[in-house]
Structure 1
Amino acid sequence: MRENNAVSSTSQNFGDTVSTLLELVVDSTGVADFLAELARLAAEGLSRPDRDVSCGVTVTRRKQPPSYAGSAGEGSVSNLRIPLDFDEEYSAVVNLYSPQPGAFSPEDAAEARRFAADAARPLLLALRISQLRESREDLAAAMQSRTIIDMAIGAIMAQNRCGRDAAFKILRNTSNNRNMKIRDVAAAMVASIAGDTDFTARFEE
């Protein structure tokens, strides 16, 4: 009877998981915030007065280092690992820890898997939104770099009375000689022209 009551209490704690996580997808500033809240909800949902549970969530994204959030499992005796396989691009693992031996009953494991299944779609949505945000930021940075480089090339063309290809070659050679990225050389030159900093390089063939 005790186990049934515990499972019923856990189910009640997990009842609003999906709606809570969907709201967090909208409100969170990034994947780290979302994972931290996911770990908190999992730990609170499975904890009982006679058993403390901590949780850690690890997400792996293709071509990126893993992201982790939650409580550390140091000193834990019991561990419940729940993998979440989305597709070739994303995977996640929810790890539940307890300092007590035999802390997780089969009913607890089943309930934790239901929680993970409910959380999977909001988590995947958060990951995809984060990817879109990062792609947008990368595109904006690339466009800014392109604009700065084009401005520097234009200045070199005017200074040396040369064509675009020759001006870019001058910029590239300056970059190599100074062991600086082309964008940084271009930014320094544009800043010098604007009067924001002193840039003494001479752009000559």
Structure 2
Amino acid sequence: MANNYAGDEAALQLQDLLMSTDNVEDFLGRLAEFSAVTLSRTTGAEIECGVTLQRRKRMTTVAGSSPHAVILDRIEHSYGDGPCILALRIKEVVLLADVDEDPRWPGYQRELADKGCHSTLGVPLEIGPDAAAALNFFASDTGLFTEEAIAAAAGFADLAGRALRLAVRMGTMQTRAEDLQAAMENRTSINLACGVVMAQNRCSQDEAMAILTRVSSNRNQKLRDVAADVLRNLTNEEVRTHFDA
């Protein structure tokens, strides 16, 4: 019951974070702080968190729970490999339990040790088909990323991923609705301009459209802009089409 309660609390807090941010990068910044605090409570020690965002195979550090976390996260990018990047690649949690003992990334691990970090945890976070992110946790000591801590990190990363995927889908739907409305408005402007040309030239609709298309080609101007010019010249003001949402 306690785990379920904690999960419910985390879900509510993540929803609040999502509702109070304007874009993915802003949310990931707030998520870094939330994740660091949450895992610090779980481990009983200070944990820092950096966030790596991957878009079209390009990876960048977009946020951190502290300036130091950002520096630590960027070290991995300078080497092009490490637990966070591996987590993104295989879509599984990757633990670097001891930078002095693990043989996988010697150069990267030496730099971490020089900056006071002795263990890390990379946790993937799925956003959508064209983007992914990973939470990169840093600890100044070893032995802190226990099974409980790893499960907690993976749990709220999964919750955050679900929230982000929903937000992305909603954003995509909103964009499509806005694109459709813009297309309808452009089509209406063109039809209105076509009617003006028909009246001025006493011609058919097809002939009027041919005139507008020819002007568009000659001016190297989009048809909707030609239509807007026709209507503006007729009324001496901008003509706007309106659709109720």
> Is TM > 0.5 for Structure 1 vs Structure 2?
yes
Q: What displacement does 1:154 show?
A: 0.9
RMSD of the alignment, in Å? 3.7
Matched, 1:192 2:238: no
Residue 31 of structure 1: CA displacement?
4.3
Change (3 A) 1:19 1:99: closer
Whether 2:105 is the aligned partner of 1:112: answer: no
Q: Of 70, 74, 86, which residue of structure 2 is paired with 1:73?
A: 70
Aligned to 2:214: 173
What residue number does 2:179 align with? 138
Cα 1:145–1:68, aligned 2, differ >3 Å: closer, same or farther?
farther
SS in 2 for 1:16: helix
Contact 2:121 / 2:145 at 8 angstroms: preserved in 1?
A: no
Secondary structure of the structure 2 residue equivalent to 1:180: coil
More displaced, 107-116 or 127-136? 107-116
Partner of 2:48: 53
Matched, 1:41 2:81: no
Question: What pairs up with 1:94-109 in 2 under 5 angstroms?
Answer: 94-98=134-138, 100=140, 105-107=145-147, 108-109=149-150
Pairwise CA distance, 1:183: 0.9
Secondary structure in structure 2 of the residue aligned to 1:139: helix
Alpha-carbon distance, 1:90 to partner: 5.8
1:9-67 deviations in whole A, cap 9, x for unaligned?
A: xx998762211233455555454554443343223323478535133263759xxx999
Deviates more, 1:97-106 or 1:16-25: 97-106
Hey, what does 1:154 align to over in structure 2?
A: 195
Distance in 2 separating the partners of 1:155 and 1:181: 18
Contact 1:53 1:97 in 2 (8 A): yes
Matched, 1:21 2:53: no
34-43 vs 170-179, which moves further = 34-43
Q: Match of 2:132, SS?
A: strand
Structure 1 window deviating more from structure 2 (128-137 vs 118-127): it is 118-127
Structure 1 residue identity aligned to 2:184: M
Give the alignment's TM-score, normalised by structure 1: 0.69
- Alignment partners' CA distance in 2, 1:110 and 1:16: 16
Give the counterpart letter for 1:167 in structure 2.
A
SS of the counterpart of 1:94?
A: strand
Work out the CA distance in 2 between the residues paired with 1:53 and 1:153. Answer: 62
Contact in 1 for aligned 2:63/2:70 (Cα 8 Å):
no
Unmatched runs of 5 consecutive residues or more in structure 2: 74-111, 113-118, 239-245
Aligned residue for 1:122? Answer: 163
Contact 2:126 2:165 (C-alpha < 8 Å) held by counterparts: no
TM-score (norm 2): 0.59
User: CA–CA distance in 1 between the matches of 2:225 and 2:184?
Assistant: 14
Distance 2:200 2:218 in 1: 19
Name the aligned partner's letter for residue 133 of structure 2: V
Q: 1:127/1:104 Cα in 2 relative to 1: closer, same or farther (>3 Å)?
A: farther
Further displaced range: 16-25 or 186-195? 16-25
Give the number of aligned pairs: 184
Residue 190 to residue 121, structure 1, CA distance change in 2 (3 Å): same
Percent identity among equivalent residues?
33
